[in-house]
Amino acid sequence: MDLQTRKIEFVQAFLKLQSEEIISQLENVLRKKTNYEIGDDSDFNPMSVNELNERIDQSENDFENGNYKSTSELLKKFNS
């Protein structure tokens, strides 16, 4: 089994967990092995209000010019 498949199976099993204790233990292992802090947003760079407004304007222009894909088109692409 390749690494990508193992990761997917792990995430699927993790999402089914109902025990906070087990989740906490897995978080601790992740912290110890990777020095990663759960909830660490140090890589998060929020955009400015100006950048947000530019993206909104671009999105509205794209929509008005028919430059978008419908949900059904996206689902077809990813389900095939």
pLDDT, residue 9, reads 92
In tens, the pLDDT along 2-60 reads: 899 898 999 999 999 999 999 989 988 888 888 766 666 566 678 899 999 999 999 99
Residues 6+ apart with CB under 8 A from 47: 55
pLDDT, residue 38, reads 64
How far CA 40 is from CA of 1, 5, 26, 73, in Å, comes to 31, 26, 16, 35
Is 30 in contact with 36 (CB distance < 8 Å)? Answer: yes
Is 14 in contact with 26 (CB distance < 8 Å)? Answer: yes
pLDDT, residue 2, reads 86
pLDDT, residue 27, reads 87
Q: In whole angstroms, how large is the CA radius of gyration of the chain?
A: 20
